Amino acid sequence: MLKSARNLIIAPSLLAANFSRLDREIQRANRSGAEWIHLDIMDGHFVPNLSFGPEMAKTLRPMTFLFMDVHLMCECPEILIDPFHAAGAESITVHAELGFRVKDLLWQIKSRNVKTGLAVNPPTSMEVARPYLKQIDLLLIMTVNPGFGGQKFIPEMLPKIQTAAKWRQEKGLKFRIEVDGGINPNTGSQCTQAGADTLVAGSSLFSKPNLRAAVSHLRKASTH
C-alpha cells in the first residue's frame, strides 16, 4: 500500500485531451503536477478504434518534460517500437494477449533502453503475465476493455492488482503496477489500496477546467 504521495505516479491520458487545442492541453499537463503523460496508440485491429502514431509523440516531445508512457494497443507492435523510441518514448507497453511474441517484444523494447511494459486486458488471466515479471518495469492492468476513453471502471479487476502486488513482494521485484480505464478519485483510491502505484486517467482529468486541481484531488484521494 502507498504510504507516501511521492510513490504515486499520475499519468494523464492524452486521448481525452481536446485535439483542436493540443498545444494548450500539453501546457495544462505540464503544469498539472502529474509525472507522466500516457499515449494510447490504437490500430483499429487489436482494438476497434484508431488514435494516433509516432508522429504525434515526436511532435509532443519538445513540448513537454513529462515522462512519455506509450501504450500500444496494436496487433503488430514490432513495427512501432523503433519509431516510438526515436520519437522519445520513455516506456513502451505491449499486450500480453499477443502470446508467444511477447518475450521478443519485451526484449526488443529493453534493448532500446526504454522501460518495458506489459498490459493485461480484463478477460485475460494474470497467469499469462506471470512468466514475464522479471523482464518488465511496468505491469499495466486494464480496468476497462481497451479501445475508448470514458468507460466505466470494472471493479472485478481489483483482485488482479492484489495478485500483482503479492507476486512483486514475494519475488522481490520492482515493476510498477499501473491501472488504466475509468480512473477517478474514487476508483483510483480503490486501486492504490489494492496495490497500484501508477494511475492513468483520461476523461476524469482533462474534462476538468483546472487540471492541476484534478490531479491533486486524484493524488490526495489515492494516497493512504
Catalytic status, residue 43: no
Nearer of residues 15 and 139 to ligand DX5, judged by Cβ = 15
Nearer of residues 60 and 183 to ligand DX5, judged by Cβ = 183
Q: Which of 14, 34, 40, 139 binds Zn ion (CB under 5 A)?
A: 40
Beta strand 198-201 pairing with 176-180: parallel
Distances (CA, A) of 169 to 57, 82, 137, 140, 186: 34, 32, 14, 17, 25
Q: Which of 44, 48, 131, 150 binds ligand DX5 (CB under 6 A)?
A: 150
Spell 14-34 as b/e; 16+ CB within 10 A means b. Answer: bbbbeeeeeeebbebbeebeb
Catalytic status, residue 180: yes
Residues from 109 through 148 that contact ligand DX5 (CB under 6 A): 144, 146-148
Instruction: Give the type of residue at 27.
Output: Q
Check binding of 77 to ligand DX5 (CB under 6 A).
Answer: no
Nearer of residues 67 and 173 to ligand DX5, judged by Cβ = 67
Check binding of 95 to Zn ion (CB under 5 A).
Answer: no
C-alpha cell, 73: 494497443
Check binding of 16 to ligand DX5 (CB under 6 A).
Answer: yes
Check binding of 178 to Zn ion (CB under 5 A).
Answer: no
Half-sphere exposure of 116 (CA within 13 A, CB side): 20
C-alpha cell, 127: 497467469
Q: Which of 181, 194, 199, 211 binds ligand DX5 (CB under 6 A)?
A: 181
Nearer of residues 152 and 171 to ligand DX5, judged by Cβ = 152
Of the candidates 40, 69, 137, 197, the residue annotated as catalytic is: 40
Q: What strands lie across the sheet with 67-73, from one edge to the other?
A: 9-12, 198-201, 176-180, 138-142, 115-120, 91-95, 67-73, 36-42
Contact range with ligand DX5 by CB under 6 A, out of 60-68, 81-89, 168-176, 200-208: 200-208
| Residue among 33, 38, 36, 30 at smallest CA distance from 13 | 38
Number of Cβ atoms within 10 Å of the Cβ of 103: 12
Active site residues: 40, 180
- Give the binding site for ligand DX5 (CB under 6 A): 13, 15-16, 38, 40, 71, 144, 146-151, 180-183, 200-204
Binding site for Zn ion (CB under 5 A): 40, 71, 180
